[in-house]
Structure 1
């Protein structure tokens, strides 16, 4: 019970809620890393996923690639990246981007593949171009699954970004775990973990709401070509 009590004391200590090492600052850093990582990964994965889902080309390669990227050992990639580019935020972001690409890519192409082919054929039959089919039919209908890819990627990055503190330079909530482990400060370790869990739950809840909104706003009929 002493660790639990010490954790409660650590979380309630006003000293841990101010300054560069305070929870608000570390939380902001963690969110910034997460947003930057997911944005870069999305810029890479979403266009590729939409192209694969729309055309059906290279689907096998996309599936194999996502599986291979998921299998990469995060700590190993982070270590090698830091050896090549030096310590700091760059190797951490690179590693997290590799982690975020698979769920985003899978969500994009799986979302488009889930769209009823008869709906797509009907859109083409009324004169829609391929771009209009993608923009007005496939993406709106696939949006819940695409958001699901963002949800999975974001939660994985939030959890794994704590590992980025393994190398000097990156901040974020992972500093509480790594720095606390170095001095056997278990209250700091558990307290930092609690904050990471709380952040993940809040973000997960927001994505659940977004998915429900997207599901409810999907078009019920094929839009016109105009």
Structure 2
């Protein structure tokens, strides 16, 4: 991905934080008929080997050929974080000659990884349990995999395959008004905050932190 130096984000903990907050990955691979994209919620988990960047785990339908890719094939996963349109009207320097244009602020993580399939029932159930526990954690009464009848769960397990993606490298891009003077960053934060939406507020915080 094209990423000018001011927009680079390389800190692993920051990249993992975005993945955790926006876990729906767009997974892109090259097939004989061209590029194919799948959309899969994934969970980052650490690995034991030194220097490792961890794994992403999830599952797909057994009918999806994704799980049959070669273990050496590198896949591209895109995690899209907060994003917002930035109007030139929001820049304080607009009054100084009008030399401002619209842009789009966003944060995104690209992950390059290889995939291995998980078909053994106990290991697959463990993946489902980890995913469920993560995404049910903010519920008043979290649902658990064990709440469903075992025969029902076992029947469904036959129709899915787990995936483990070993991360080879990650690249982050935080385009959040770093290229603007301080007076414009302040006015962008003010306008985003005034929109009153959670996404705009998150972007405003990103602009402040940069």
TM-score relative to the length of structure 2: 0.22
Bigger fraction of residues in helix: 1
Bigger fraction of residues in strand: 2
